[in-house]
C-alpha cells in the first residue's frame, strides 16, 4: 500500500503551443536537494521557460486557490529553474567572454557540473538545449522593454518566455533587475532562479 497524500497536479498550463503539468506544492531546499527530490518522484526538473509559463498562468487568475499559492511562494522564497549558466572569461578560444546556458545541466553530489568542452561540442552540433550569449547584454535595473528583448533573457527563457517574463514583471512595483555578470576572470557556474524581487538571478 502506497498512499499519496498532500500532492496536487496543476495541469493544462499553456506552454509553447502545448501544455505542461507541475506538481504542487513545490519542493524546497538547495537546488541539489530539490533536484534529488524531483528525481525520486520520477518527475522532470522545470527549466526557465517552463517556470515562466507557470507563473504567467498563475497571474491570469491571481485569486484562484492554487494560483494564489504559487504567487505567495515568491513572497519569501524563490523558484529554482533548472537552467545552468556557465560564465566564460575572455580568451582566444572560439567560444569565450560570455555565458553558455544549458537546460537541465548535470548535478553531481548536489553541485552543478557544466563541462565547457562538452557544451561547446553541443553548441556546434546545434543542440537546442544549449545556447551561448556573449557579454554585453544589459544587467541590473532595466525597463520592461529592455527586459523582454534582453539577449540573455531571450536565450534563457525563449522568445515566448521572455515576453511572459516582461508581462509578469509589469505587474509589480519593483523595477526589473537581472543579477548576472558583465565579465568574469575564471569559469563560473551558476543555477538560475526566479526571485520575489522580480530580478532574474543566477545563483550557485
Residue that is written with C-alpha cell 532574474 in the block: 200
Cβ proximity of 194 and 181 under 8 Å = no
Cα Rg of the chain, angstroms: 17
pLDDT in tens, 12-36: 999 999 999 999 988 999 999 999 9
Neighbours of 8 (CB within 10 A): 12
CB proximity list for 124: less than 8 A, separation 6 or greater = none
The answer to whether residue 37 scores a pLDDT higher than 60 is: yes
Closest listed residue to residue 191, CA positions, set 71, 111, 73 = 111
- Supply 6's cell numbers: 498532500
State the DSSP code for 191. E
Which of 196 and 16 is assigned the larger pLDDT? 16
Q: What percent of the chain has pLDDT over 90?
A: 78
pLDDT at 174: 77
How far apart (Å, rounded) are the C-alpha atoms in residues 200 and 139? Answer: 10
The widest CA-to-CA distance across the chain, in whole angstroms, is 60
Rounded mean pLDDT, 166-175: 84
How far apart (Å, rounded) are the C-alpha atoms in residues 70 and 59? Answer: 9
pLDDT bin (cut points 50, 70, 90) of residue 199 is: very low
pLDDT in tens, 131-143: 999 999 999 999 9
How far apart (Å, rounded) are the C-alpha atoms in residues 196 and 1? Answer: 39
Neighbours of 44 (CB within 10 A): 13
pLDDT at 196: 63
How far apart (Å, rounded) are the C-alpha atoms in residues 123 and 153? Answer: 18
pLDDT bin (cut points 50, 70, 90) of residue 78 is: confident
What is the domain count for the chain? 1
pLDDT bin (cut points 50, 70, 90) of residue 172 is: confident
- Supply 138's cell numbers: 544589459
pLDDT at 161: 96
pLDDT at 200: 44
**Domain with 148 in it:** 1-204
CB proximity list for 101: less than 8 A, separation 6 or greater = 83, 84, 85, 86, 130, 131, 132, 133, 155, 156
CA distances from 36 to 11, 28, 32, 41, 201 (A): 22, 11, 6, 9, 22
The answer to whether residue 76 scores a pLDDT higher than 80 is: no
The answer to whether residue 68 scores a pLDDT higher than 90 is: yes
Q: Has this prediction a pTM greater than 0.85?
A: yes
Amino acid at each position: 500500500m502506497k498512499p499519496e497524500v498532500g500532492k496536487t497536479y496543476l495541469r493544462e498550463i499553456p506552454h509553447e503551443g502545448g501544455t505542461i503539468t507541475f506538481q504542487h506544492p513545490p519542493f524546497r531546499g538547495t537546488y541539489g536537494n530539490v533536484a534529488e527530490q524531483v528525481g525520486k518522484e520520477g518527475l522532470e526538473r522545470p527549466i526557465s521557460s517552463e517556470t515562466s509559463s507557470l507563473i504567467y498562468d498563475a497571474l491570469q487568475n491571481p485569486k484562484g486557490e492554487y494560483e494564489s499559492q504559487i504567487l505567495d511562494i515568491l513572497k519569501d522564497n524563490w523558484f529554482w529553474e533548472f537552467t545552468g549558466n556557465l560564465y566564460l572569461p575572455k580568451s582566444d578560444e572560439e567560444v569565450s567572454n560570455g555565458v553558455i546556458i544549458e537546460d537541465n545541466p548535470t548535478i553531481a553530489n548536489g553541485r552543478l557540473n557544466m563541462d565547457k568542452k562538452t557544451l561547446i561540442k553541443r553548441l556546434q552540433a546545434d543542440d537546442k538545449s544549449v545556447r551561448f550569449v556573449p557579454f554585453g547584454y544589459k544587467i541590473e535595473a532595466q525597463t520592461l522593454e529592455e527586459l523582454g528583448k534582453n539577449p540573455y533573457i531571450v536565450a534563457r527563457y525563449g522568445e515566448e518566455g521572455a515576453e511572459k517574463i516582461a508581462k509578469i514583471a509589469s505587474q509589480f512595483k519593483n523595477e526589473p533587475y537581472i543579477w548576472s555578470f558583465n565579465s568574469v576572470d575564471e569559469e563560473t557556474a551558476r543555477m538560475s532562479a526566479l526571485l520575489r524581487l522580480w530580478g532574474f538571478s543566477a545563483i550557485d
